[in-house]
Structure 1
């Protein structure tokens, strides 16, 4: 997905967000949202930032370096992924001065008043062959621009990948890349940057309902579904994440951290795209991520995860479901209740935040 994202008269207790705190930071900071803008009726960017803050959403992914959004995010305390759009990759790849200019205009002009953590160069570039040859040179030029600004230790450069970059994905231990990822992985390793992946159990389940159960896709299975040697999987999300990790290991990179830059479930547009399934997936995803359980290959290692998406986007192209991934309608009314449970705190202090919309 290049970028994805019931008539309701009244809501009471529409959001229950539970944030578990370590002594030094909030577990809730591991959950973010993707702020896509492919709609003709979005609220103002200041309203969006207020919506994020009022719902205790501490991370947001932008799909470009939108100036209005960056201005609104100043001094918000929200951690941000800023993107180099796919259409900009070729120019930045071929011209260090262009990369320096982008850095000056889009990053140093706002940092540190905007808490920029990552720069995502392109999105699912291997799914659009026109930009593949420019991707690594663009990443290197952005890294050089970061170094010139002395920000290389504060902001990391990466690029999000779709599952389609994998050649083999089952079982997870047999994951391999179908694309030549060696140079990109070496870049990530050299610069202490994470591997970024867009992970959608929804599409795997929708396309393979006879071989993948709803319980496995929606985190509802209480027992092992896939036995991969010594690794046991009861949810498809972990299996997909570990497939990427296995593919990296086979190329000699076993320690690159992984960030899930997109995951979600649509609430309409397909027989399995329902409000109930979307609610179930996102609630169980949040609970799983906040539990710090990690995955079978990397147990106990938290994974930064971004839910796609903040709003339904009526100008998203593709099948109807693509326009229904939002947690909120563009009038800021939530599509369904989002919650995580006290069990996810694992004995840590829990703060309950209730938001009521009428």
Structure 2
């Protein structure tokens, strides 16, 4: 047996050498191609899982959200026939946000934004969205704005706005009704109760529901406009065997509706349903905006733009709060007389005054 040493010299056939190199290069090329295809497939699966609300797939385990994550997803979603320009680009270790805009030849200016995050709390996400610099930029994109939130850790779609309209569907979000039946595990309602359906429902368990500063429920505020029930992703409405989509979790333009238990508020059994129905949105929106958000101090001045249902409720909230000067602004001067009953003591018509 011969012992090989580093300085042993062997005869070399050049044709065999070049042939071997060619084979090695070919094998290397095949390996690189295979790795590229596997990576492309995994990224496609990631995008598919993110967009389809599926949490069964495990995306990449990197702890850092990168611009590449955003670019890949946005390239998959955005219409390549339009020229999209960057509007906002904000990134940190856990979160990456990008907004783009485009001006179609026939149509209004459109915006598309996406947030990808990983290992981030609801408070951290809220603080990001409430950042003053971000808000100033985002406020310029509210027309035709589509937004997508993705949780990279499990591949789930957290929230989407401006989604493609779902049809057919039953609209309506203000109503008063009587509970006909309840599902398993529902304890705060029983058949015969008078109730209001509420599109800003509350699960009662998430940080927002437990906070006194917000009712933007992590479960119900965003997911109720998917057109289906949350527990099985199916509609409870149909005609001739074809499903009809729900609307913001309420669908009140119907004799009967089916809603999530967290989207129902029990009310006084003596309440007249034909009058309290507007409490489920218009009144609480205007009153709450003044009392819970603006929080005017006694003796302060408040201006309200628009004296419809929401505006009048906002005026009532200002009156209750003790505001001494409540200015109503509207293009219809005849609304001032009614607005006086809700505390408005000055009126401005921009077309006249």
Query: TM class by shorter-chain length?
Result: under 0.3
Q: Could you tell me the TM-score, scaled by structure 1's length?
A: 0.25
Q: Which has the higher contact order (CA 8 A, sep 6+)?
A: 1
Larger radius of gyration: 2
